[in-house]
Structure 1
Amino acid sequence: MATNRLACHDCHRIVDPDEEVCPYCGSNSLTEDWAGYVVITHPEESEVAEKMEVTEAGEYALKVR
């Protein structure tokens, strides 16, 4: 995981630093100011995914500032 990756304020997805718009939700609210990293592989079976309201597998930031 590169330290300069961005997180989306809206969906918490982790995206590459060259992205200007989140490819997952279309938001342009991306930030380097995030903490915690989780990979959700089976959201339908994950308590973390349920708490985060995540329905798709992927890489997510736990906290986005």
Structure 2
Amino acid sequence: MSDKEVVCKHCKRFVRGDKCPACNTKDFTKTWKGVVIVNEPNASEIAQIIGINAPGKYALWVK
């Protein structure tokens, strides 16, 4: 895969490369909407609501 960002269909994390570092899958999409960047998931209400446990850049909706 190229260096362009794609989104993991399972954890919704933005990924560069061939494998998602968060969930170790290779199932990606280029169809997504909305972005949330989480620095401290334990202190973030939004992260808790959408189920994010690790810091990173995530899509809100993934096809």
TM-score normalised by length of structure 1 = 0.82
Corresponding position of 2:25: 27
Deviation at 1:52, TM superposition (A): 1.4
Corresponding position of 2:11: 11
Deviation at 1:47, TM superposition (A): 1.3
CA RMSD of aligned residues (A): 1.1
User: What are the ranges of 5 or more consecutive residues in structure 2 without an aligned counterpart?
Assistant: none
Deviation at 1:24, TM superposition (A): 1.5
Corresponding position of 2:41: 43
Q: What is the percentage of aligned positions where both structures have the same residue? A: 33
Deviation at 1:20, TM superposition (A): 2.2
User: What are the ranges of 5 or more consecutive residues in structure 1 without an aligned counterpart?
Assistant: none
Distance 2:10 2:51 in 1: 12
